[in-house]
Amino acid sequence: MENNNIAVIGSGSWGIALAFRLWKNGADVTIWARSRNSAEKLRDNREDKDKLPGVILDGSIKITDNMETALKDKDMIVLTVPSTAVREVCQKMKPYLASEDERHQIIVNCSKGIESETLMLMSDVILDELPGSDVAVLSGPSHAEEVGKNLPTSIVVSAFSKETAKMVQNAFMADTFRVYTSPDMLGIEIGAALKNVIALAAGVCDGLGFGDNAKAALITRGIAEMSRLGAAMGGDYETFSGLSGIGDLVVTCASMHSRNRKAGILIGQGKTVEEATKEVNMVVEGVNSAAAALALARKFEVEMPIVEQVNEVLFNHKSAGDAVGDLMCREKKDENDLQGW
């Protein structure tokens, strides 16, 4: 399979950026948009001037709101919808995919999150709705604003087989888009989901007027929490020192492209969660994943104080200042429980 006929499901900024990347690599690309209005607007303008200005889609990239048209004869399907929409979109895809026994398309999940009702990662949600699918996940430090401008980055892809991972690697690899492979799909997805929660906390630090020291400490202790939970769930510690762990966490905590950081800044400045998400005007995945992350921490009996305090601020009306105070005044501990004297 050459994987040259590709559907990008989702016409948001990430979908547009990846469609642009795949088209640059010579793929025949079709973008699926949720509504007819969105499809027509993108088809007419060849650009989303609100979410991704300056990224112009070539006229050969097809844009449709018809799922059957989008999926017809596709080798690869790239899911870029928000995590809260993955299950619904998979249900819409199902009638137009080959039967389970004949299914050959690779489904590449680029959505980052945890389903709040089931605590499933996105690959599990896809397989729950589309059993037998050849699922891969793509993650790493890759803001759409920079990918769409052809600025360099490196990301990582995982799948159940090395063969599938290499097919996805070949489809996306470019001189400005370096793709590594990894066998640890679970660890990559945990990192992808939890970094959004930590990025909210990083934004809160900025909103409160804290400095670089606080940001560095938060990122460091955040990766410790992510690693503990990921390992408890069956992931590899090493994954969290890689592109989908520390790499994605750093870029999401530091960049003003990050909608999670933007929302956190507004919350740190005293705005409510509702006010912050409305002002960001894009899906803030960290808000969607925070409660699920805490539920997973309790299920696997993993200590995650930053995630706990983020939940207190988001859902229990705790002030951001009080949350920081409680984190700083926790009982004294060793930095690493695995090290002995």
Do 44 and 19 fall within a single domain?
Answer: yes
| The amino acid at 207 | G
Distance CA 300, CA 31 (A): 39
Last residue of a domain, one of 183, 202, 225: 183
Do 238 and 169 fall within a single domain?
Answer: no
| The amino acid at 110 | C
Do 172 and 110 fall within a single domain?
Answer: yes
Residue 93 inside a domain? The answer is yes
Do 128 and 201 fall within a single domain?
Answer: no
Distance CA 277, CA 182 (A): 33
Closest of 218, 196, 194 to residue 205, by C-alpha: 218
Average pLDDT over residues 156-181: 97
CA distances from 17 to 48, 143, 152, 162, 318 (A): 11, 9, 13, 25, 37
Do 210 and 148 fall within a single domain?
Answer: no
- The runs of H, that is alpha helices, within the chain are 13-24, 36-45, 67-71, 86-93, 122-129, 144-147, 162-172, 185-207, 212-233, 248-254, 259-268, 273-280, 285-299, 305-315, 320-328
Closest of 276, 254, 253 to residue 201, by C-alpha: 253
Do 169 and 216 fall within a single domain?
Answer: no
Do 157 and 254 fall within a single domain?
Answer: no
Residue 26 inside a domain? The answer is yes
Do 200 and 221 fall within a single domain?
Answer: yes
Active-site residue set: 195
Last residue of a domain, one of 183, 203, 226: 183
The token duo for 187 is 């660890």
Average pLDDT over residues 181-203: 94
Helix, strand, coil fractions of the chain, as percent rounded to 5: 50, 15, 35
Do 103 and 243 fall within a single domain?
Answer: no
Residue 227 inside a domain? The answer is yes
pTM of model > 0.95: no
Do 12 and 92 fall within a single domain?
Answer: yes
Asked if 203 and 195 touch (Cβ cutoff 8 Å), the reply is: no
Q: Please report, rounded to a whole number, the percentage of residues in the chain having pLDDT higher than 90.
A: 84
Q: How many domains does the chain have?
A: 2
Q: What residues make up the domain containing 79?
A: 5-183
Last residue of a domain, one of 160, 183, 206: 183
pLDDT of 1 above 60 = no
Do 107 and 249 fall within a single domain?
Answer: no
Do 209 and 171 fall within a single domain?
Answer: no
**CATH code assigned at 153:** 3.40.50.720
Query: Is 49 strand, coil or helix?
Result: coil
**CATH code assigned at 199:** 1.10.1040.10
User: What local confidence, expressed as pLDDT, does residue 256 receive?
Assistant: 79
What digits encode the pLDDT tens for the residues 200-227?
999 999 999 999 999 999 999 999 999 9
Residue 340 inside a domain? The answer is no
